[in-house]
Amino acid sequence: MQITFAAKQSAALPRLVARIVARDTFPNDLPAHVREGAVAGRFAGKPGQVFETCYEDDGRLVRLALAGCGNGNGETYPGHAGVERAGAALAAKYLTSGETEIALDLSGTAFTAEQVAAVLVGLTLRAWRWDAYRTRLKDEQKRSLEKVIVLDAPAGTPEAWELDQAMVRGVEFTRELVTEPANILYPESFVARAKERFAGTGVEIEVLGEEEMRKLGMGALLGVSQGSPRESQLLVMKWMGGNPGDKPALFVGKGVTFDTGGISLKPPAGMEDMKWDMGGAGAVTGAMLAIAGRKAKANVIGVCGLVENMPDGNAQRPGDVVTTMSGQTVEVINTDAEGRLVLCDAMTWAQGQFEPDVMVELSTLTGAMIVSLGHEHGGVFSNSDALADHLLEAGTESGDKLWRFPLSAAYDKLIDSPIADMKNVGPRYAGSITAAQFLQRFVEDGVDWAHLDIAGMAWADKPGATWDKGATGYGVRLLDRFVRDTREG
């Protein structure tokens, strides 16, 4: 989406014009008949509500859209969530309308630069689509809206949008990665696409292949991928924008580019969805693009363990014992509980390599998390109350909501193995918790750690406020806001 800024008096206005309207409040310069029509149509300025009408202005047809943004906390104009939904509602309604341009008329309003930027965030995020493989769309199905002209924006809006646009690009990149099918996006092509997208950003890329990981003793990660002809990769992205010598924040992502379940084969129905089992790695990669794009004054490392979990004659078997890079041994009870095997080696390597003070790991880890929270929140587990609170707050601010779950030594016995240090799964109950307990065994002393289980959030079966059906880009905004709030002065 192309965004430009102009003064209303000097701009050549397109036919489609939008106004953002707070609850039960109309701009003073709206024609009376437009107000009457909106009231008659029960338009009240609720978040995401849209009313459209047409009128003639000096012989020119104006197609006017009113988008509601609510009135957060009783204020005349709302916080960012309401105005973001207003922008998203405009994109949802007009993306395939045949209109190529929309003017966002802010004259006579009192929105801040940050609120206007939020409107644009909602509009551009909701407008994202991946049509690369759709060759027979009808004209009325094709995307037409390509340009937004912002009229009479308050001072500082272009600068506020520039910061938010970096985040938007990160979300869009994550959605692209999560959407791509597994025959296109696999560990090596994931790395190639990341290298291409990060070129010129200042992010330093490092990649470990299977031979290097084998020498390091990453038996758990390599055990997952041994049934696939696709070579596993460890992708490392380094952004050192903070003070030299400051410990970095470490983000680790699960990147299972396709998960059949291995020998513990998943049921066929719905298995095609398992292309998004790399949603954690996608979120970390998109967050690194966002952080670098706005030149964040922070030291941040992103590490993604990228594998494909396939069944063949060389695949890992239930009952196998693997030795992790940490030296701890794992009895593999279920080869479909593979994400934690990938993550434990990635976490061990990254902690030893970068000595972070904070480590946040994201993964589409357990179906049990979807049973617990549905598709409304990601789950957070942490050994640090302060870190958990920061992430919960960042989730609220960004819209990538989280809910905290417990960790307790009482759950450890559920993953004890009679022949190894631990099993990779426990019993049916508390499945998300035992997965977190497993990962906690690979956290080094002195590291504040959080595990985010985003299994219910990376993909949506129906449209949301700022996304269409499909990849949501969940996690990018959360990590970007966390860095803004806790790592930058």
Active site residue 93: no
- H or E element that contains 239: strand 233-240
Q: What is the DSSP string of 218-230?
A: -HHHHHHHTTSSS
Q: For tokens 């509602």, what's the residue?
A: 89
Q: What is the DSSP string of 46-90?
A: -TT-EEEEEEEETTEEEEEEEEE---GGG-SS--HHHHHHHHHHH
Alpha-carbon distance values, 35 to 24, 57, 152, 227, 367 (Å) = 11, 16, 21, 64, 49
Exposed e or buried b per residue across 71-100, where buried means at least 16 C-beta atoms within 10 angstroms of its C-beta: bbeeeebbbbbbbbbbbbbbbbbbbbbebe
Of the candidates 19, 126, 169, 340, the residue annotated as catalytic is 340
Active site residue 340: yes
For residue 232, what are its two tokens?
């596993």
Q: Which long-range contacts (CB under 8 A, 24 or more apart) does 347-351 make?
A: 347/252, 347/439, 347/442, 347/443, 348/324, 348/442, 349/208, 349/216, 349/218, 349/234, 349/303, 349/325, 350/236, 350/250, 350/252, 350/301, 350/303, 351/250, 351/443, 351/444, 351/447
User: In this structure, are residues 365 and 277 in contact, taking their beta carbons and an 8 Å threshold?
Assistant: no
The crossing angle, in degrees rounded to 10, of helices 385-398 and 476-486 is: 120
Burial of 14 (0-12, 13-18, 19+ CB in 10 A): middle
Q: For tokens 């059906």, what's the residue?
A: 469
Q: CA 124, 468, 450: angle at the middle one, nearest 5?
A: 85
Nearest-CA neighbor of 112 among 80, 147, 68, 71? 80
Task: Give 64's contacts (C-beta < 8 A, 6+ positions apart).
Answer: 17, 18, 19, 34, 52, 53, 54, 55
Amino acid occupying residue 449? W
User: In this structure, are residues 17 and 103 in contact, taking their beta carbons and an 8 Å threshold?
Assistant: yes
For residue 248, what are its two tokens?
């970095």
**What is the sign of the dihedral through the CA atoms of 450, 191, 163 and 399?**
negative
H helix runs in 205-338, sequence order? 210-216, 219-225, 279-293
Of the candidates 266, 297, 401, 404, the residue annotated as catalytic is 266
Which residues does the annotation mark as catalytic?
266, 340
